[in-house]
C-alpha cells in the first residue's frame, strides 16, 4: 500500500463511524503537505466534519479526539493539531528509511501489484484506416498507451483493442477513386501511396459539394446574427446588459462570418484549379455515389468486397508503420468490419427487449435525458457507428467479461458515448463501468485546430520527423557545448534524437490535462527546462554520469549492504518523493490522467537536482553516506526509467 493509502486506511474506520455518508469525501482531504514545515501530509477534514456534527463540537477538539482513536505511531511521528484543526503528519524517518531500503532492492521500486485486480478493456487509437494517420490520432494513441501500461503495471488485467475504422465511408471513397481515377502504374509500385492519393482526391471533391451545400445555411446564419447584433445595438444605453450583449453578438457574428468566408474561399479555391474544376464537372454526383459504393460493400457486392480485401492489408501496413515507430502494440485489432454480421442481430435484440422501436422507418433507442434518440438502423436499412459500438460491447462482455471499458476518444464524441452507455445499461450491462476518456484538440500557434496551410491535417509521420530533427539540433548543441568537447558519435546523436523527438511528442501530449486543448509547440516540447522529456532524460542520464565518474556499478549498489540515511534535508526530501511513486500511479487511474504521472516525474527530477546541488555524492563525508546517496541516485533513475516506460518512452543513457 502507498503511504497515503496507509494513512487513509487508518482514518477510514473512525471517519466512517462518525460520518458514514461523507467519509470518503473527508478522506480525500488527507493530502501531501504543501510546505515541509507542515510535515509530510495534512488532513483538513476536522473543520467540515465539526460543522457537520453540530455547533457544540470544536474542530481542534474533534481532531484531537479522532487522533486518540487512530493508530499511526508505527509509521508517523506524534501528530500535531494546528490552527483551527489541521492535522499535520510527519512520517517517521526510520519507517521511511525502511521502505526506501526495500524499494532500492525491489525491481519494481516499491510498487506492489494490486490485491484486487480488475479486468479493463482499453479501446484506443482506433483510426479510420484508408486515411493517412494525422495529428488528431496522437492523443488517443499516446494517452491510451499510457493508461494501458499503468494499469498493467499495477497488476490489473488489460485487454487493449484497436477498434479500427475499417468499414466506413472512407472505403466507399477509395473504391470510387479506384474505379475512376486510379493510376495503375503508381498503384502497382506503391499501393498505399496511391490509395492515399485517391482518398485525398475523392475527399476533396466530396468536400467541395458538401461545402457548397452548406453555403445557404451559413449565409442564413450570418443574416440571423446581423439581426441579433442590431437588436443589441438598439438596447437603450442605460440597459445594464447592453455591453455584454453587444460583445456577445459581435463575437457570434464574427464567428459566423469567418465560417462563411472560409467555406466560400474553399469553394472558390477548388473551382479555380482547372484540373479540379474539370473533375468536379465530370463527377457532379460523387457524394451520393461514394455512399452508394459504401452501401454496395456493406450489402456484400462481390466486386467491392474484392477491392476491400485487396486494399485493407495495405491500409493496415500503413498504420502499422506508424505504430512501430511509436512503439505501440495492441492485444487485438478487431475493426468495425469484424462486427458486420452482428449488426442485424443487435438491432433485433434491441427490438425484442423493447428498448428500441421504429420511428419514421428508422429503428431508434429512446433514452431518458436525451432530446434525440440513438438510431441503430436508418430507414434505408443502413447501420450506424452506434450499432457497431453496441455489437462491440456485446462481444467484449461475452469474450473478456470486463469490469471496466475505457474509450479513449476525442471529446467531440461525448454525446455518442453518453447515449451508448445509457443504451448499454438498458440492454442489461449494468456491471460494466463504461468510461469515455475524452480529450481536447491540438491547436496551432494561432489557436486554431492544427492543420497545414493547404487545409489538410498534418500527416503524423511528417510530424514525427520534424520532432526528431528538432531534438537532433538540441542534442548536438548540448554535446558541442560540453566542457571537454563532444562525447557522442553521429550514430549516437541520431539514435538519441529519435528517442527524444518521438518522446517529446508523446510526453508533450501526456503532460497536458487531457480535457484541455493545447497549443502544439515543438520548441517547448524539446526545451531543456520545464516539464519536458528533455529535462527528464537529462536528469536520468545525469545519474548514469555520476556512477561512471564514481566508477561504481549501478546494479551492484542496489544489493550492497548499508542503509539509506538522512544527513541533510535534501536527502530526506528526495527520499519522500521517491517513496510516493506508487501513489502517483494510483492517482493516474482514479480518473485516467497520465499527466499526473508526468507531474510526479517532474517533481522527482526537480527534487533530484536540489539534492544533487546540496548533497555531495562522490565526496560524501562517510562511505556509508556515499552509499546511501548513490542508492538514492540509482532509485531516482530507475523510477524515471519505469515512469517513462509506462508513458511509452525509453530512456537514453547519455545525452
Ligand atoms: N474510428 C473512430 C474515429 O476515428 C473512433 C473509434 C473509437 N472507438 C469506438 N469504440 N467508438 O472517430
pLDDT of res. 446 = 87
**Does domain 3-91 fall into CATH 3.20.20.140?**
no
Cα(443) to ligand 1 centroid in Å equals: 21
Count of alpha carbons within 13 angstroms of residue 529, beta-carbon side: 0
Q: Which residue puts its alpha carbon closest to atom 4 of ligand 1?
A: 127
Q: How far, in Å, CA of 593 to CA of 407, rounded?
A: 13
Q: Which residues of the chain have pLDDT under 50?
A: 452-455
> Do 3-91 and 488-646 come out as alike in CATH topology?
no
pLDDT digits (tens, 9 = 90+) for 311-322: 999 989 889 999
Q: How far, in Å, CA of 31 to CA of 496, rounded?
A: 38
Instruction: Name the grid cell of 57.
Output: 463540537
Pairing of strands 119-123, 157-161: parallel
Fold classified for 488-646:
Isoleucyl-tRNA Synthetase; Domain 1 (1.10.730)
Ligand 1 mutation target, pool 159, 163, 460, most atoms within 8 A of CB: 163
Cα(145) to ligand 1 centroid in Å equals: 15
pLDDT digits (tens, 9 = 90+) for 132-144: 788 889 999 999 9
pLDDT of res. 456 = 57
Annotated domain spans of the chain: 3-91, 488-646
- The residue whose grid cell reads 445594464 is 240
Closest ligand 1 atom, CA of 385? 11
pLDDT digits (tens, 9 = 90+) for 395-432: 999 999 999 999 999 999 999 999 999 999 999 999 99
pLDDT digits (tens, 9 = 90+) for 461-471: 889 999 999 99
What's this model's pTM, rounded to 2 decimal places? 0.90
Average pLDDT of the chain is 94
pLDDT of res. 189 = 93
Q: Please list every protein residue whose CB sits less than 6 Å from any atom of ligand 1.
A: 123, 126-128, 163, 165, 389, 392, 407, 409
Nearest in space to 340 (alpha carbons), one of 171, 116, 215: 171
pLDDT of res. 454 = 44
Ligand 1 mutation target, pool 397, 413, 416, most atoms within 8 A of CB: 413
Q: How far, in Å, CA of 47 to CA of 319, rounded?
A: 55
Angle, vertex CA 545, rays to CA 543 and CA 551, nearest 5: 105
> In what side-by-side order are the strands of the sheet with 80-82?
30-32, 41-43, 86-89, 80-82
Cα(385) to ligand 1 centroid in Å equals: 8
Amino acid at each position: 500500500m502507498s503511504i497515503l493509502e496507509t494513512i487513509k486506511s487508518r482514518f477510514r474506520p473512525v471517519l466512517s463511524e462518525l460520518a458514514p455518508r461523507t467519509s470518503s469525501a473527508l478522506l480525500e482531504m488527507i493530502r501531501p503537505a504543501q510546505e515541509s514545515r507542515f510535515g509530510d501530509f495534512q488532513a483538513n477534514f476536522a473543520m467540515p466534519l465539526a460543522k457537520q456534527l453540530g455547533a457544540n463540537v470544536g474542530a481542534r477538539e474533534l481532531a484531537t479526539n479522532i487522533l486518540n482513536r487512530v493508530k499511526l505511531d508505527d509509521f508517523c511521528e506524534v501528530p500535531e493539531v494546528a490552527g483551527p484543526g489541521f492535522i499535520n503528519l510527519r512520517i517517521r524517518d526510520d519507517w521511511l528509511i525502511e521502505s526506501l531500503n526495500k524499494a532500492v532492492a525491489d525491481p519494481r521500486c516499491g510498487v506492489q501489484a494490486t490485491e484486487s485486480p480488475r479486468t479493463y478493456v482499453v479501446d484506443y487509437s482506433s483510426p479510420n484506416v484508408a486515411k493517412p494517420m494525422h495529428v488528431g490520432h496522437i492523443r488517443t494513441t499516446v494517452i491510451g498507451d499510457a493508461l494501458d501500461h499503468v494499469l498493467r503495471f499495477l497488476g490489473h488485467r488489460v485487454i487493449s483493442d484497436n477498434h479500427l475504422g475499417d468499414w466506413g465511408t472512407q472505403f466507399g471513397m477509395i473504391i470510387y477513386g479506384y474505379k475512376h481515377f486510379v493510376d495503375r502504374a503508381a498503384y502497382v509500385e506503391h499501393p498505399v501511396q496511391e490509395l492515399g492519393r485517391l482518398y485525398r482526391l475523392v475527399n476533396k471533391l466530396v468536400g467541395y459539394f458538401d461545402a457548397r451545400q452548406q453555403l445557404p445555411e451559413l449565409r442564413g446564419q450570418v443574416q440571423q446574427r446581423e439581426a441579433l447584433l442590431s437588436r443589441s445595438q438598439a438596447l437603450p444605453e442605460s440597459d445594464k446588459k447592453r455591453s455584454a450583449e453587444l460583445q456577445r453578438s459581435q463575437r457570434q457574428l464574427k464567428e459566423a462570418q469567418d465560417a462563411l468566408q472560409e467555406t466560400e474561399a474553399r469553394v472558390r479555391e477548388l473551382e479555380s484549379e482547372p484540373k479540379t474544376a474539370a473533375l468536379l464537372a465530370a463527377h457532379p454526383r460523387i457524394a451520393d455515389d461514394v455512399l452508394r459504393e459504401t452501401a454496395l460493400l456493406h450489402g456484400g457486392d462481390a466486386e467491392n468486397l474484392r477491392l476491400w480485401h485487396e486494399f485493407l492489408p495495405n491500409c493496415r501496413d500503413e498504420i502499422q508503420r506508424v505504430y512501430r515507430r511509436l512503439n505501440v502494440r495492441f492485444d487485438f485489432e478487431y475493426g468495425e468490419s469484424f462486427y458486420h454480421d452482428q449488426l442485424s442481430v443487435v438491432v433485433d435484440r434491441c427490438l425484442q427487449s423493447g428498448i428500441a422501436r421504429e420511428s419514421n422507418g428508422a429503428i431508434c433507442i429512446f433514452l431518458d435525458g436525451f432530446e434525440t434518440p440513438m438510431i441503430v438502423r436508418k430507414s434505408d436499412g443502413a447501420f450506424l457507428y452506434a450499432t457497431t459500438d453496441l455489437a462491440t460491447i456485446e462481444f467484449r462482455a461475452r469474450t473478456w467479461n470486463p469490469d471496466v471499458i475505457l474509450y479513449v476518444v476525442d471529446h467531440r464524441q461525448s454525446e455518442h458515448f453518453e447515449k451508448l452507455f445509457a443504451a448499454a445499461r438498458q440492454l442489461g450491462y449494468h456491471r460494466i463501468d463504461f468510461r469515455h476518456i475524452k480529450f481536447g484538440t491540438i491547436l496551432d500557434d494561432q489557436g486554431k485546430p492544427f492543420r497545414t496551410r493547404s487545409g489538410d491535417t498534418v500527416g503524423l509521420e511528417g510530424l514525427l520527423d520534424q520532432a526528431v530533427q528538432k531534438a537532433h539540433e538540441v542534442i548536438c548543441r548540448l554535446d558541442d557545448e560540453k566542457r571537454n568537447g563532444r562525447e557522442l558519435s553521429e550514430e549516437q546523436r541520431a539514435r538519441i534524437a529519435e528517442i527524444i523527438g518521438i518522446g517529446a511528442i508523446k510526453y508533450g501530449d501526456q503532460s497536458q490535462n487531457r480535457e484541455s486543448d493545447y497549443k502544439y509547440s515543438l520548441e517547448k516540447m524539446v526545451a531543456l527546462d520545464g516539464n519536458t522529456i528533455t529535462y527528464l532524460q537529462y536528469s536520468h542520464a545525469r545519474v548514469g554520469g555520476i556512477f561512471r565518474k564514481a566508477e561504481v556499478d549501478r546494479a551492484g549498489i542496489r544489493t550492497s549492504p548499508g542503509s539509506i540515511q538522512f544527513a541533510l534535508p535534501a536527502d530526506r526530501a528526495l527520499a519522500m518523493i521517491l517513496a510516493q511513486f506508487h501513489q502517483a500511479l494510483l492517482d493516474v487511474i482514479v480518473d485516467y490522467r497520465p499527466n499526473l504521472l508526468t507531474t510526479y516525474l517532474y517533481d522527482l527530477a526537480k527534487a533530484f537536482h536540489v539534492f544533487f546541488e546540496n548533497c555531495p555524492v562522490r565526496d560524501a563525508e562517510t562511505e556509508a553516506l556515499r552509499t546511501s546517496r548513490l542508492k538514492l541516485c540509482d532509485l531516482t533513475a530507475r523510477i524515471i526509467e519505469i515512469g517513462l516506460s509506462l508513458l511509452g518512452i525509453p530512456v537514453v543513457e547519455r545525452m
